[in-house]
Structure 1
Amino acid sequence: MTRQDRTQNLPQPFDAAFLADPWRGYARLREAAPVHRIALPDGSPVWLVLREADVRAWIADPRLSVNKARSGVGYKGFSLPPALDANLLNIDPEDHLRLRRLISQGFTPRRVEALGGLVQAAADRLADGLAADVDAHGSADLVTAFSNPLPLVVIGDLLGVPEADRRPFSEWVGTMLMPEHPGQVVEAIGRVHRFLEELVAARRAAPGDDLLSDLIAARDEGDRLSEDELVSLAFLILMAGSENAQHLISGGLLTLLQHPEQLAAVRAEPELLPGAVEELLRYALPNQMAIRRFPVEPVEIGGVTVPAGDTVMLCLASAHRDPERYPEPDRFDIRRADKAHLALGQGIHYCLGAPLARMEIRIALATLLDRFPDLELAVPAGELQWRTSFRSRALRALPVRGTGRRGR
C-alpha cells in the first residue's frame, strides 16, 4: 500500500464525528503516517505527531521550545496577558529551572503527605453530600457534588484561596479551555486575570501560611521572580491543580463503572488501586495534547522535516493508544505490565504536582468505592454529555445512584 492509498479517506480532525471518538480517528491517522500537517478548528496549521515513540522522544527534547517567541506560523495557544503567560508552560530551561525551584517547595513529599488528611476529610465530606443528594433525589451528579469541588478544596487551601472564590475560578478556567463560542474565551481570561491580581494583592496585604504567600515573599524580599511571573505561577498552579484532577476523577470512575470486572477486582483487592490510577492516566486522560511546541531549528520527526517556528502538537491521546507500545491499547487493564505513560509530562516539563494528583485521584476513588458499594450510572452511558475540543475531553455531568454507607 502506498502512502497515497493510506492517506485517502482519512478522518477530518477535529469535526464533531472525530471528537465523538477521537481515539478511533487518531488510530486511523497514525496508521496512515506518524506525522500529519493539519489545520486546527480555527484554521491554524500544525504538525500533529501521533506515534508514542516520537511523542516520548520529543516531549523532552530542547529543540522543541515552548516559548511563544520561537513561533513563526501556526497555532500559538491562548492569547494571554503577560500576567498569565509567564508560567512554566511557556518558558524554556534557564528561567524554567529558576521558577521550578521556587515553586517546588509547595510539592515536597513531606508537604504532599501532610495534605493527605485534608484530601481524605474533604472526600468524606463531599461523599456525605453526594449520599444525601442520592437519598433525596434518587440520583446525583458526581461532577458537581464530588469530582469538581474536591481538587478545589486541596489546591485552594495550598494557595490560600478563599472558599467562596474557588468554584467561580474553576468555571472561568473551564470556559476558557472549552468555550461554547469563541467570545467566551476573552471574557473568561479577563475574569481569571482580575481575580488573580486581586488574590495576590490580598495575600500581600495579609500573608498566611500558604504557598502563594511564600511566592510573594520570594518576589518582594528576594526579587527572585517578576510580578508577572508571580501571578502566572498562581494561575498555573490553580488551573493545573484543579482542572486535570477534576476530569480524571469523574472520567476514572466512569471508566471503572464501564468495566465491571476491573471494578470488582479493585473492590476485592484495594492494593490494586495505585496501578488502576496509572492505567486511568493512560486510558482516560482528558488532555488530548501536550502543550504546543516550536522547533528552534529544522527537525525531522517521523520522517518529516518540520521547519523552525512551525507549531508541533504532540498527541498524548494517540500515543497512549499506540499498539507499538501498548499491547491491546484500547483495552482497560488495571494489571497492565507497562505502566509508563506521558500523562504527567516528561523531563523538564514533568508535572511538579504529580504526587498530589495521584494521591487525590486514589483517595477520591477509594472513598467512592468504599462509601457506595453498589454505585452505578443513573443514565445509559450513551446519554452522557461531553465537553470536547482538540485540547481536552471531559464529562459535563456524571449522574450516579447507589446506597451510601455512613461516613467515617
Structure 2
Amino acid sequence: MKQGILTDILDHANRANPYPLYEELRKTPVYHDGEGPYVVSTYHEIHGLLHDPRLSSEERNRTAGGADPLAGEEEAEGATLPPSFLKLDPPEHDRLRRLTNRPFGPPHSPHRIESMRGNLDETVKNLIDDIANGTSRNGSSGNGSSGNGTSGNGAGTGRIDIVDQFSYPFPVTMICRLLGVPREDEARFHVWADTLASSLDPDPSADPAERAKVTQDARMELGMYLAGLIEERRKDPRDDMLSQLAAGQGDDSMSTMELLSTAALLLIAGHETTVNLITNGMLTLLRNPDELQRLRAEPGLAVPMVEELLRFEPPVQMLPQRTPLVDIEVHGVTIPKGAPMWLMLASGNRDPQRFENPDHFDPDRRDVQHLGLGSGIHSCFGAPLARLEAQKALSELARRLENPRLLEDPPPYRQNAVLRGPRHLMIACDGIRP
C-alpha cells in the first residue's frame, strides 16, 4: 500500500475518477499509515461499523478532518449553537431526530413527501421549460460556481449547464418549500451553505485557523437568518416544517438553539447531496446512452435506476467523522479508543466481495443494498425526498431532451472529496420536447 494513497484520494486531480484509488485501498481493508486516520474501505466492515454502538459520531479530539459545520463554541443570540443531531450519539440523537421527523414522515406526517409530488412535477416542468426558452429561475449555481442563467436557447440546442439550470435549483426550490424558507432568499443562504458544506471536506491544504473562522462566520450568519424566520413562524404559523418544529410544546420539544441547528442542517443537507445525485445520475446516463433510451421508454425504470446510481456514483463518498468509544477490532486490526476513523462509503459500494461486476452500471441489478445513503441510526434523514427528486428529475430529462450529449467529459468537479460531484455539466441537445 502506498503511503500517499489518502493524499491521492483527496487530490482534486483525481476527483473525476477516484475508483481505481479505492480499489487499491481495499487491498488493505483497514488502512493506517501510522499517523493519520484508520480508513475502512470494504463493504461488510463499513456496514457493520455503521450499526456498531461502540462507534461515536460526536465531535471529539479529532485532528484528521471532518469537523461539524453546525457545532462549535460560537454564540448566537447569547447562547452556544449546539451540534446538529447528525453529530450526536444516542440518546440525544434519537430524541432530536424523532422530533424532527414529526412534521416530515410517518407516523405523525405519513403523507408529507407523497403530497409533494405535484410540486415536484411542476418545478421540474418549469425548469426544463426555462431551459427551452433560454431563461433561468436561478441566479447562482450550486457547488460554489456562478451561473449566468442564460446558457440555453429557444431551440434547446445551445450549451446547457445541468448543474446551474436544473440540478441545483430543483432541490433548493423543494427544500425551501418544505421548510418554509423564502425561495427568493436563496442568494443569501447559498454562500453560507456552500461554505459549510466545504468545511466537511478533510482538505489537508486548507489553513485550519482560516477555515475555522470562515466556517464560524457562515454558521453564525445562517443561524441569525434562521432565528428571524423561526420568530416569524411562531407569530404567523404556516403549513411548513419550520412552523411545526417551532410550535413544539413542553418538555418533548427542541430548545431554540437546537431548532436553529436542526433547521440549518435540513436546509443544507436538503439540497447539497441531491444536487450531486441528480448531476452524477445524468452524467452516468449520458455515458450509457442505451440506459438513457430505456429510461425514456420506461419511466418506471427510474426507481431501480436511482438505487443503482446511489451505489455506482454516491453523492457522499466518505464519512470522515467517526471515533471508537473503546478499542475495537475490524478485519483483524485493533483500532484504539479515540482514534479518528474514515468510512469510505463509495469504496464499499464498489467492493467485489459484495457486488458482482461492481464497476458496471446495471439498473437491473437485483441486490442493491448500497451504502449511498448511509445505514444504521445515521442513515440519510431526507432519503425519501432525495429518491423521489432524483427519480422525477432523471425521468423527465430523459423524456424531454432530444439526443442529449456531453460537451466535456470528464466535467469539472467540485473541490470537495466528501460531497463529490461536477461543478458544471455542460451538454447540448437537438431540441426539447413539450
TM-score using structure 2 length: 0.84
* Partner-residue secondary structure (3-state), 1:277: helix
CA contact (8 A) 2:40 2:46 kept: yes
CA-atom RMSD, angstroms? 2.4
Which letter maps to 2:173?
V
String of CA shifts for 1:279-331, please: whole Å, max 9, x gaps: 11111112111251111111111221111111111111111111111111111
* Partner-residue secondary structure (3-state), 2:334: strand
Query: Per-residue deviation at 1:84?
Result: 5.3
Q: Which residue of 2 aligns with 1:94?
A: 91
Q: Which residue of 2 aligns with 1:3?
A: none
User: CA, structure 1 residues 81+11, in 2 after alignment: closer, same or farther (shift >3 Å)?
Assistant: closer
Which letter maps to 1:178?
S
Query: Per-residue deviation at 1:187?
Result: 4.0
CA distance in 2, matches of 1:198, 1:116: 29
Query: Per-residue deviation at 1:199?
Result: 2.4
CA contact (8 A) 2:59 2:68 kept: no
CA contact (8 A) 2:3 2:33 kept: no
Q: Which residue of 1 aligns with 2:143?
A: none
User: CA, structure 1 residues 84+264, in 2 after alignment: closer, same or farther (shift >3 Å)?
Assistant: farther
Q: 1:362 aligns with which of 391, 395, 402?
A: 391
Deviates more, 1:335-344 or 1:198-207: 198-207
CA distance in 1, matches of 2:399, 2:3: 50
CA distance in 2, matches of 1:332, 1:190: 42
CA contact (8 A) 2:315 2:372 kept: no
Query: Per-residue deviation at 1:262?
Result: 1.5
Q: Which residue of 2 aligns with 1:216?
A: 246
* Partner-residue secondary structure (3-state), 1:93: coil
* Partner-residue secondary structure (3-state), 1:300: strand
Consecutive unaligned residues of structure 1, counting only runs of 5 or more, are: 1-5
Which letter maps to 1:367?
E
* Partner-residue secondary structure (3-state), 1:366: helix
Which letter maps to 1:405?
R
Matching of residues 251-400 of structure 1 within 5 Å: 251-290=280-319, 292-377=321-406, 379-382=407-410, 384-400=411-427
Query: Per-residue deviation at 1:278?
Result: 0.3
Q: Which residue of 2 aligns with 1:188?
A: 218
CA distance in 2, matches of 1:294, 1:346: 16
Deviates more, 1:82-91 or 1:138-147: 82-91
Which letter maps to 2:29?
P
* Partner-residue secondary structure (3-state), 1:170: helix
Query: Per-residue deviation at 1:65?
Result: 0.8
Query: Per-residue deviation at 1:85?
Result: 4.3
CA contact (8 A) 2:317 2:417 kept: yes
Q: How much identity, in percent, do the aligned residues show?
A: 36
Which letter maps to 2:300?
E
CA contact (8 A) 1:152 1:167 kept: no
Which letter maps to 1:102?
L
Consecutive unaligned residues of structure 2, counting only runs of 5 or more, are: 74-79, 135-151
Q: 1:203 aligns with which of 233, 250, 270?
A: 233
Which letter maps to 2:22?
Y
* Partner-residue secondary structure (3-state), 2:424: coil
TM-score using structure 1 length: 0.89
CA distance in 2, matches of 1:337, 1:23: 22
String of CA shifts for 1:45-91, please: whole Å, max 9, x gaps: 3111101110011012110011124x465445136346654322111
